[in-house]
């Protein structure tokens, strides 16, 4: 055989092999670039609402493994959204790994375990979830009817965020504590060591009050209610940030369907018990004084009456997000089939501007619920089980 031909053939085979390797490497590099580029991933944006048909007055906790659990006011869902044939939910529980994709997991209470120490026929409203230092989950709740003369606040406990929750009974009632419309609880622990203190905040349009707690279930002996805000507010949430305590309070009508004027105002203080001041330095405990505007509805966006926000969370890259409910008027009247207001779970990003929280800052949606695709929180790529 001709040696030149053998050499040429050998060189050709090497060239082909090298070409294949280069092509494979080139293809691998291209695929690698696409895989690593987050802008190509479908889960980098979300659009409101993030859970429907309803999860009113939401409260959210994040567990040690990164799973979020949200809880909402007792409500009756539309028939199309029934779970195992059931439409009535006594504090529905949903979970997520990213604050965006939620799945229903159950209810905090059944007809048999629902608290019954309040006014006959009272509903379980406006819960707040809190994980204690003992690892237990404490579910604070309002027990009330519309126009109730003696509503109250109680707490239930569970070893798991999914329950089952066992009622521990009432903490306070309106006539006992001397505060009208005693609903909408918010429990918080602040400080550390000998300076650690726990407080329960509550109230709805008859003043916002706080009282020191001995532990998660018991008012401290001798403690008395202290008023921190006037009668324009309900749905208290307190958030610590950069040396301030921020008070978030909802104002207006929560539950009038498409006519809802619910909205959120914010004030801040260097002391958890106030005074809480607006951006003009006015104390919101003074009659008629409103906090700084934070979140307001807009019928042209399809959402009115945003409010009763949940806890604020920071994602792994430092972005702040706040869940809340709003009235979905996409079906016209903003009502569920049973007549209650349709209040699905919403989510929007917060930016801190000059020491104040701003929703959708610097956009045409500033201070309003978003209705277009927005950047999702970044908590990693875990899936909900």
**Per-residue pLDDT tens for 89-133?**
999 999 999 999 999 999 999 999 999 999 999 999 999 999 999
For domain 53-375, give the fold: Tachylectin-2; Chain A (2.115.10)
Domain boundaries, the chain: 53-375
**Per-residue pLDDT tens for 70-82?**
999 999 999 999 9
d(CA 342, CA 337) in angstroms, rounded, equals 9
**Per-residue pLDDT tens for 177-221?**
999 999 999 999 999 999 999 999 999 999 999 999 999 999 999
Where residue 381 falls among pLDDT bands split at 50, 70, 90?
low
Q: Specify the 3-state DSSP secondary structure of 28.
A: helix
**Does the pLDDT of residue 156 top 90, yes or no?**
yes
Share of the chain above pLDDT 90, in %: 86
d(CA 359, CA 297) in angstroms, rounded, equals 12
**Does the pLDDT of residue 21 top 50, yes or no?**
no
Across the chain, mean pLDDT equals 90
Instruction: Kindly state the average pLDDT of the residues 247-272.
Output: 98
**Does the pLDDT of residue 5 top 80, yes or no?**
no
Between 385 and 277, name the one with better pLDDT. 277
Q: Residue count of the chain, please give it.
A: 385
**Does the pLDDT of residue 234 top 70, yes or no?**
yes
- Residue 306 has a CB neighbour count (10 Å cut-off) of 29
- For the stretch 94-119, what's the b/e string if a residue is b when 16 or more beta carbons lie within 10 angstroms of its beta carbon? bbbbbbbebeeebbbbeeebbbeebb
d(CA 125, CA 120) in angstroms, rounded, equals 15
pTM over 0.85: yes
Q: Which pLDDT belongs to residue 20?
A: 37
């Amino acid at each position: 055989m001709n040696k030149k031909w053998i050499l040429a053939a050998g060189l050709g085979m090497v060239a082909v092999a090298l070409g294949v390797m280069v092509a494979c490497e080139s293809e691998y590099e291209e695929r690698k670039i696409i895989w690593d580029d987050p802008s190509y991933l479908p889960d980098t944006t979300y659009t409101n609402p993030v859970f429907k048909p309803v999860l009113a007055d939401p409260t959210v906790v994040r567990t040690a493994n990164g799973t979020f659990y949200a809880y909402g006011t007792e409500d009756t869902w539309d028939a199309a959204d029934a779970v195992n044939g059931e439409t009535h939910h006594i504090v529905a529980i949903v979970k997520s790994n990213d604050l965006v994709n939620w799945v229903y997991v159950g209810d905090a209470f059944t007809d048999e375990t629902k608290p019954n120490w309040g006014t006959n026929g009272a509903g379980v409203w406006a819960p707040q979830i809190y994980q204690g230092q003992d690892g237990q989950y404490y579910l604070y709740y309002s027990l009330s009817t519309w126009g109730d003369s003696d509503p109250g606040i109680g707490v239930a406990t569970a070893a798991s965020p999914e329950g089952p929750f066992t009622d521990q009974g009432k903490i306070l009632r309106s006539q006992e504590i001397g505060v009208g419309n005693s609903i909408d609880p918010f429990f918080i622990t602040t400080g550390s060591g000998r300076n650690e203190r726990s407080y329960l905040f509550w109230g709805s349009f008859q003043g916002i009050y706080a009282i020191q707690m001995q532990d998660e279930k018991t008012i401290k002996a001798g403690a008395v209610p202290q008023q921190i805000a006037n009668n324009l507010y309900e749905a208290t949430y307190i958030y610590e940030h950069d040396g301030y305590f921020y008070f978030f309070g909802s104002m207006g009508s929560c539950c009038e369907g498409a006519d809802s004027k619910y909205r959120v105002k914010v004030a801040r203080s260097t002391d958890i018990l106030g005074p809480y001041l607006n951006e003009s330095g006015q104390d919101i405990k003074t009659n008629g004084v409103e906090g700084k505007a934070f979140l307001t509805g807009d019928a042209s966006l399809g959402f009115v009456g945003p409010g009763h926000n949940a806890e604020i969370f920071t994602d792994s890259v430092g972005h702040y997000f706040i869940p809340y409910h709003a009235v979905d008027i996409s079906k016209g009247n903003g009502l569920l089939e049973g007549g209650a207001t349709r209040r699905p779970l919403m989510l929007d990003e917060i930016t801190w501007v000059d020491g104040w929280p701003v929703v959708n800052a610097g956009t045409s949606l500033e201070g309003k619920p978003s209705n277009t695709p927005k950047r999702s929180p970044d908590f990693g790529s875990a899936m909900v089980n």
